[in-house]
Structure formats: structure tokens, C-alpha cells
């Protein structure tokens, strides 16, 4: 027997498999003898005959070439077919008809119009050559020599598709222009391939200068601007034809991501912008479009102007617009770039009669201040907000004028709530009861539960007296150092007696008080440290959140998150946006008992200025321990309103004391101005609402 005789397969499973494989090969040989002969001649048989061990499974160079050639041919056919099917769209994207965004009052009338009135085209010959090359150096230095696509970008897209990643990055200016004017912003392989194929066809149809002109007129530069002309106006207040290479290098940096490179947004942005600006100028030198001598002239970063305010934003409108825009950004899928493109209709919850009435009430009080004669009347701020029990923000007073003061004082989270926080302590006690002994069970609490109301009594925990960090026992203090003796909790709430409420918070547990306040609507980030003063309002909620939280009592223990936008449309199509829903956070009986105590505060206690509005009004004054803030928060069945008055040092942003504000005796705690603003506002807004409805 020849030593080359093929070994017979063994018995068993392996032998059976080998026999079937050989029989299959034999069947192919019988049916396609020519193919079989060619395969043997080209040594395409696999596993490879005549080899032993692992070498049988190592493909030959002919087999490798065959696979690569077949794959390349198939890919070439696929791309060729896709190229033949690709069409340059006849219609441009909506950028070509960029519109303003329009905001509406709650009654449907127009409140404000924001955004650029129109997108301004700028011929390429009016763009300085240095500015053009700054863009090309940053984005696509081979623009004038490439075919409209980047081969490395194609490979990167293919590889990322194979690994499950996105396909962004590496696009030429032609590709970016195609994406801007014809396609959407999705980053998937199908869209990327279509972008490349259209770019190749467009490069054959349009001149390079026309493509560059279109790109410069349609790219997003942030600050609500599309196009280099609008960007020059927004960042430098000049025409694009007036830009130099340094300014052009900065604007070119924005193309990488305006939200990351606008230096007015943050210090980190400023650092990135400077680094990118310098890199673009160096890149221009590298490609021979800026001399070293010219580069040496640009050593100082060309600081852009401050971010421009929205149009129609004087008075209170600017605060309302910013709130509504922020709400849309947070609660829809509309990106900042899409929103700046315009065409949106934003229907807000703001009621113009209430906003006007609140503004006039604040102005009336401000007339009593005389900063020229009294230094204590300087730097006075007022934040106020009205929120309906169902969560609608009806009115806001953010400051004297949005164009003069951009910070919205109704959203400020630096002002201590003071004793206006105590209703949450009272509600927590009624809901959860108290525990006075270390191992004792919780005891129910009612409005008639009696506490010690004397001045300077020691604050206790279940373990004993509460010691502060200096080693002293903490003692509660009442306004005017008055001692009330044994006092029911409801009466303590009505007359704002501090010592019973401090102790009540300790007995309930400050963690439970915090939980109740959070459920009612205050944000966790606004809470102060959990020490005895926590019950007396060392937390710093905004006026909007305080109004919303008191609204939980007005709605019998149900809370709805505050919101400022009812719906959003774009050219008639509704933009999906969830509506906050009410949820029960307090027992209805507990909410009713809190309301009863706060009505007592208006009828016979510290909030009697609002008594003239009727017996249904519930409210609470608030003064901080350091006398650097004063509040009034009150409600009826239709609206809850919070007003805060404080002084803020503009350089250090530190709160200043209110002692003697408006000429009041210095011994007077807090200020009566929040009560006055609240009462005047409520008196004026009711008739206006009735007139508006009629």
C-alpha cells in the first residue's frame, strides 16, 4: 500500500462527520466538474487537503486574495449602486426660512418675540480672506483640493458602524454643508453614507466658493445665530467684513461646538476658547495662510461682547421668557440649536393682569425707599411669584428690569425662609407625631397639644439637652424676648412663637420635617443644616418654590410640580411635552389643620395686614434669625403667592441686614414690605382677572 494512501476515517461521531463532508465534496465534484477542477487548480479547497493539524485550517494566499477580492467587489458594487440612487434634495432645510420664537400669555395673546428677524445672507467676497482661511484651517484645510469627502472619514464611519459606535467626526466642509441644508442631525451610518454620496455629487455640481459661501451662511455659531454675519454681530457687534484674522479664528472655534466655546458661559469655556483660538491661528501659519509676523501680532484673545439679551425682554418679560425657554429645554427633546433656529410657539402659564399687578405693587413699595438718604435702603431686592394649586406659575417678579438685572430674584436660592418655614414643621408633627424619649413610641399631635412657649428655654433631644459645637446648650428665643407660658401649637403658629416650634421640630425629627417639606415642593438642594434652627428656616428656597409648597396646603395635601409652559408647537405641529401631575403628599386633614392655623395668623396673628381680603386668606410672615430676609407667603383656593425682600451686596453677593429699612425703627425685625406687596397685589389682581375674563 502506498505511503500516501489517505487514512480511513475512524468510527464514531467524528468518522461520520468526515464521511459526510467527503460525500458532500464528491457531490459537488460530480455536479460541477469544471468548478471542481478550477478550485483544485487554484487550491481553493478548504480545509486544505494534503496538510495536517492546524495547517489544514490556515488559508492559502490565493484563498485570502479571493475573499478580499470578492468583498472589495461587493462593496464597490454596493457603493456604486448607492451613488447612482443618491439624489440631491430639491428643498432646503428649515434654516432657509429661519423664524422668531413667539411667546404667548395664558390667554393666548402675544407676549414677546425673540430671535433674529431674518437670516442674513453674506456673499463670500465680503468675508475677509483671513477669516475664510481661519474656518478652513479649523475645519477642512484640503477643502479646495478634495472631492467633497474625506477618505479617512469614510473608513472611520465604517469602523464605527462595525463596532456599534456613532459616525460623527471627520466631515469635510462640503459634508457639513450637506448636513446643514439637506439632511437631519442624526449620527447613524445610513445618514452618514447618504451625506457622503450627496457631497460628492454636490462637489461636481457647485463651485467650491459657492459651497463655502453656503456653509458660512448656514452653520450654527451659538447665541441664537446661524451664519457668520449674524455671529459677527452677536459676538463683536460688527459686520463680518470688519473682522480680522484673530476674531475669525475665535468664530471658527465655535464651529466645534458653540456651547463649549462661548467664553461668556463659564471659565472652562473661556479656557477652551483661548486654546482653540490659538491653535487655529497656529494652524493658519502651518498651511501658509498667515505669516509668522502676522501671527505674532495676535497675542491677546479677542474677547467677545457680553451675551445679548432676547428682544422684547424689557421689564418682567425677560424673566418670563428665560423661565419658559429653560422649561422647554428641560422638558422636551428640542435642542438649544433647534430652538435657536426658530419657528416655535411657546404658550406660557403667565397671566398678564397678575404680572402687571405684582409689578405695580413692588414699585409702590420701592417709592418708600430713599437710598440717597439712607444707606440701608440700598441694594434692596424683591422676589415674588404666584403659583396655582395645580402647578401653573401665574406671575413672577424677578427684579426691576431684565435688561438692567438679569438675575431672577424669584428664582434666587440664597434667601433664608425664616419663620415662613414653620408650617412644614407643624404639618410634619400633625402627620407623624413626636417622640420625646429615647426608647419611647411616637405620640400623636393635635393643634391643641401644649408646649412651653417661654423665652430662652433649652432645646432638648430624646437623649437630653442639645449642645452646640462651642459646648453650650442651645436655647430658643422669641421675638421681643416675650414668654408665652404653656401654649397650644395652633396658637404658637398663629402668633409665630419660636420656642415651641423649635422644640416641636426636634421632637418630630428634623429628617421627617425635611421629608415633609420636600414632598410639599421644596427642593432638597435648598435645605440648610439639620440643627435646631432648621425649624426656623435656615433653608433658602426660591419664592417660586415657597409659593408652590404653600399651594400644597391650598389643594388639600396634593402637590403638582410648578411649570411655566402649557404647550409648544412648531409651525402648527405639537412638540411632545409631559404635563406635571398632582400627587397626594399630605393627608387632607393635616392640610386643612395647617390652613386653619394660617387663617388664624391672618385674622388675629402676625399677618393681619391681609385681613381685609377676607376670612379665606391663609398666610404666614417670615423673618430670618439674622434679620437679613423678610417673607410673606399666603394663599386662597385659587392662588398661592410668596414675596421675599432682602438686601444683596453686589460685589460679594452677601446678604445685608434689614434693620431700619425704609426708615423703620431699627429694633423692628424683618420688614412689613412683603405683607404690603402681597396685600396690594392681591387686591389689584382680583378685579383685573375679572376684567380679563369678561
CA-to-CA distance for 479 and 200, rounded, in angstroms? 79
Instruction: State the pLDDT at residue 393.
Output: 98
CB hemisphere CA count around 577 (13 angstroms): 22
Instruction: State the pLDDT at residue 76.
Output: 63
CA-to-CA distance for 210 and 212, rounded, in angstroms? 5
> Phi/psi zone of residue 625: left (φ > 0), alpha (ψ -120 to 50 degrees), beta?
alpha
Give the number of residues written for the chain: 694
Three-class SS string for 265-298? Answer: CCHHHHHHHHHHHHHHHHHHHHCCCCCHHHHHHC
Report the SS3 class of residue 67.
Answer: helix
CA-to-CA distance for 589 and 603, rounded, in angstroms? 21
CA-to-CA distance for 673 and 670, rounded, in angstroms? 9
CA dihedral defined by 366, 632, 318, 339, rounded to 10 degrees? Answer: 170
CA-to-CA distance for 153 and 149, rounded, in angstroms? 8
CA-to-CA distance for 461 and 463, rounded, in angstroms? 5
Residue 253 contacts residue 277 (beta carbons within 8 Å)? yes
CA-to-CA distance for 84 and 223, rounded, in angstroms? 40
Please list, in sequence order, all residues whose beta carbon lies within 8 angstroms of the beta carbon of residue 590, skipping any fewer than 6 positions away: 427, 430, 431, 557
Instruction: State the pLDDT at residue 570.
Output: 86
The residue written with cell numbers 422644640 in the block is 503
The residue written with cell numbers 404635563 in the block is 579
CA-to-CA distance for 271 and 260, rounded, in angstroms? 10
The residue ranges of DSSP E strands in 150-298, in sequence order, are 220-222, 225-226
CA-to-CA distance for 346 and 336, rounded, in angstroms? 14
Instruction: State the pLDDT at residue 506.
Output: 97
Burial class (CB in 10 A: 0-12, 13-18, 19+), 612: exposed
Residue 391 contacts residue 563 (beta carbons within 8 Å)? yes
Residue 164 contacts residue 158 (beta carbons within 8 Å)? no
Instruction: State the pLDDT at residue 162.
Output: 52
CA-to-CA distance for 583 and 569, rounded, in angstroms? 27
- Give the pLDDT confidence of 427-450 residue by residue, as tens digits: 999 999 999 887 778 999 999 999
Question: Which has the closest alpha carbon to 494: 622, 618, 600, 610?
Answer: 600
Domain spans in the chain, listed from the N-terminal domain onward? 19-85, 146-206
Residue 643 contacts residue 656 (beta carbons within 8 Å)? no
Report the SS3 class of residue 76.
Answer: helix
Instruction: State the pLDDT at residue 535.
Output: 97
Residues in the chain predicted with pLDDT less than 70, given as ranges, are: 1-64, 66-99, 115-120, 152-170, 183-195, 308-311, 571, 667-670, 687-694
CA-to-CA distance for 75 and 603, rounded, in angstroms? 84
Instruction: State the pLDDT at residue 88.
Output: 54
Buried/exposed code over 82-118 (b: 16+ C-beta within 10 A; e: otherwise): eeeebeeeeeebebeebbbbbbbbbeeeebbbbbbee
Instruction: State the pLDDT at residue 17.
Output: 47
Question: Which has the closest alpha carbon to 278: 260, 258, 300?
Answer: 300
Report the SS3 class of residue 28.
Answer: helix
Please list, in sequence order, all residues whose beta carbon lies within 8 angstroms of the beta carbon of residue 349, skipping any fewer than 6 positions away: 106, 388, 392, 393, 394, 563, 564, 565, 566
The residue ranges of DSSP E strands in 35-182, in sequence order, are 101-104, 110-114
Question: Which has the closest alpha carbon to 417: 517, 330, 298?
Answer: 517
Burial class (CB in 10 A: 0-12, 13-18, 19+), 472: exposed
Please list, in sequence order, all residues whose beta carbon lies within 8 angstroms of the beta carbon of residue 689, skipping any fewer than 6 positions away: 351, 353, 354
Residue 499 contacts residue 506 (beta carbons within 8 Å)? no
What distances in angstroms separate CA 64 from CA 34, 46, 58, 307, one per listed residue? 22, 12, 10, 60
H or E element in which residue 505 lies: helix 498-508
Amino acid at each position: 500500500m502506498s505511503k500516501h494512501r489517505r487514512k480511513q476515517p475512524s468510527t464514531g461521531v467524528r468518522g461520520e462527520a468526515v464521511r459526510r463532508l467527503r460525500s458532500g465534496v464528491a457531490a459537488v465534484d460530480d455536479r460541477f466538474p469544471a468548478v471542481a477542477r478550477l478550485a483544485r487548480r487554484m487550491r481553493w479547497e478548504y480545509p486544505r487537503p494534503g496538510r495536517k493539524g492546524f495547517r489544514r485550517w490556515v488559508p492559502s494566499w490565493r484563498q485570502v486574495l479571493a475573499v478580499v477580492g470578492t468583498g472589495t467587489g461587493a462593496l464597490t458594487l454596493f457603493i456604486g449602486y448607492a451613488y447612482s440612487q443618491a439624489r440631491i434634495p430639491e428643498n432646503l432645510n428649515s434654516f432657509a426660512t429661519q423664524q422668531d420664537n413667539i411667546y404667548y400669555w395664558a390667554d393666548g395673546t402675544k407676549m414677546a418675540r425673540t430671535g433674529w428677524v431674518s437670516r442674513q445672507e453674506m456673499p463670500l467676497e465680503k468675508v475677509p480672506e483671513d477669516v475664510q482661511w481661519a474656518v478652513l484651517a479649523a475645519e477642512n484645510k484640503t477643502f479646495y483640493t478634495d472631492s467633497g469627502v474625506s477618505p479617512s472619514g469614510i473608513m472611520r464611519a465604517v469602523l464605527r458602524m462595525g463596532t456599534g459606535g456613532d459616525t460623527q467626526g471627520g466631515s469635510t466642509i462640503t459634508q457639513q454643508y450637506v448636513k446643514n441644508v439637506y439632511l437631519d442631525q442624526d449620527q447613524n451610518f445610513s445618514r452618514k453614507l447618504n451625506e457622503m454620496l450627496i457631497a460628492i455629487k454636490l462637489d461636481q455640481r457647485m463651485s467650491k466658493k459657492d459651497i463655502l459661501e453656503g456653509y458660512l451662511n448656514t452653520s450654527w455659531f451659538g447665541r441664537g445665530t446661524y451664519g457668520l454675519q449674524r455671529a459677527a454681530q452677536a459676538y463683536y457687534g460688527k459686520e463680518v467684513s470688519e473682522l480680522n484674522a484673530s476674531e475669525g479664528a475665535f468664530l471658527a472655534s465655535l464651529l466645534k461646538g458653540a456651547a463649549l466655546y462661548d467664553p461668556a458661559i463659564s471659565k472652562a469655556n473661556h479656557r477652551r476658547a483661548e486654546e482653540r483660538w490659538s491653535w487655529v491661528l497656529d494652524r493658519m501659519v502651518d498651511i501658509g495662510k498667515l505669516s509668522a509676523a502676522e501671527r505674532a501680532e495676535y497675542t491677546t484673545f479677542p474677547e467677545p461682547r457680553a451675551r445679548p439679551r432676547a428682544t422684547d425682554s424689557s421689564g418682567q418679560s425677560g424673566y418670563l421668557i428665560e423661565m419658559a425657554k429653560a422649561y422647554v429645554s428641560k422638558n422636551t427633546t428640542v435642542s438649544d440649536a433647534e430652538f435657536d433656529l426658530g419657528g416655535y410657539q411657546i404658550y406660557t402659564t403667565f397671566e398678564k393682569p397678575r404680572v402687571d399687578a405684582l409689578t405695580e405693587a413692588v414699585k409702590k413699595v420701592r417709592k418708600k425707599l430713599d437710598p440717597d438718604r439712607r444707606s440701608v435702603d440700598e441694594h434692596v431686592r424683591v422676589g415674588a411669584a404666584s403659583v396655582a394649586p395645580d402647578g401653573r406659575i401665574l406671575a413672577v417678579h424677578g427684579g426691576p428690569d431684565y435688561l438692567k438685572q438679569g438675575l431672577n430674584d424669584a428664582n434666587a436660592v440664597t434667601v433664608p425662609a425664616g419663620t415662613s418655614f414653620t408650617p412644614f414643621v407643624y404639618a410634619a408633627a400633625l402627620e407623624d407625631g413626636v417622640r420625646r424619649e429615647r426608647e419611647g413610641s411616637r405620640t400623636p399631635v393635635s393643634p391643641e397639644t401644649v408646649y412651653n412657649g417661654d423665652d430662652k428655654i433649652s432645646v432638648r433631644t430624646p437623649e437630653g439637652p442639645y449642645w452646640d459645637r462651642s459646648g453650650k446648650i442651645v436655647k430658643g428665643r422669641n421675638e421681643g424676648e416675650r414668654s408665652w407660658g404653656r401654649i397650644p401649637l395652633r396658637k404658637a403658629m398663629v402668633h409665630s412663637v419660636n420656642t415651641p416650634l423649635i422644640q416641636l421640630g426636634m421632637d418630630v425629627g428634623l429628617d421627617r420635617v425635611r421629608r415633609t417639606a420636600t414632598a410639599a415642593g421644596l427642593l432638597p438642594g435648598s435645605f440648610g443644616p439639620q440643627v435646631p434652627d432648621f425649624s426656623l428656616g435656615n433653608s433658602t428656597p426660591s419664592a417660586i418654590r415657597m409659593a408652590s409648597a404653600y399651594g400644597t396646603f391650598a389643594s388639600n395635601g396634593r402637590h403638582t410640580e410648578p411649570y411655566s409652559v402649557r404647550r409648544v408647537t412648531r409651525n402648527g405641529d405639537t412638540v411632545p411635552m409631559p404635563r406635571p401631575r398632582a400627587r397626594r403628599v399630605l393627608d387632607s386633614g393635616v392640610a386643612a389643620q395647617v390652613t386653619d392655623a394660617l387663617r388664624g395668623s391672618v385674622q388675629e396673628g402676625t399677618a393681619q395686614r391681609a385681613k381685609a381680603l377676607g376670612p379665606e386668606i391663609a398666610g404666614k410672615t417670615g423673618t430670618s434669625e439674622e434679620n437679613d430676609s423678610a417673607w410673606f407667603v399666603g394663599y386662597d383656593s385659587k392662588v398661592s403667592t410668596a414675596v421675599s425682600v432682602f438686601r444683596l451686596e453686589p460685589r460679594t453677593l452677601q446678604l445685608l441686614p434689614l434693620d431700619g429699612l425704609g426708615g423703620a425703627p431699627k429694633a423692628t425685625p424683618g420688614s412689613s414690605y412683603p405683607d404690603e406687596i402681597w396685600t396690594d397685589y392681591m387686591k389689584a389682581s382680583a378685579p383685573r382677572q375679572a376684567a380679563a375674563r369678561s
